[in-house]
Amino acid sequence: MSEALKAIAATGNLAYNKLQPDAQRGIAGSIALELILGAVSSDKPHDLETELNKLSEYVDKIQAALKAR
C-alpha cells in the first residue's frame, strides 16, 4: 500500500475532515503524485511535465472527493 493510501487509512474519513487544511492538502497532494507516477509509468504515453502542471487541479479534485464523503 502506498504511503498516501496509508495516510488516508490511518486518519479515516472523519479524522481527515478534522485535520488542518495544510495537512489535508498534503495528503491529497501525496495521492495526486501517486496517481501521476502510475500514469507516467504505464504503457500509455503520458508526459510528466504536463501531468505535474495539472498537480494543483488534481489535488483540488481529490480534496473535494474526500470532503464529500
Residue 12, sorted as left (phi over 0), alpha (psi -120 to 50) or beta, turns out to be: left
User: What does pTM read for this prediction?
Assistant: 0.76
- The structural domain count of the chain equals 1
Domain span at residue 48?
3-68
Question: What pLDDT is recorded for position 1?
Answer: 54
Higher pLDDT, 52 or 17: 52
Does the pLDDT value for residue 60 go beyond 80?
yes
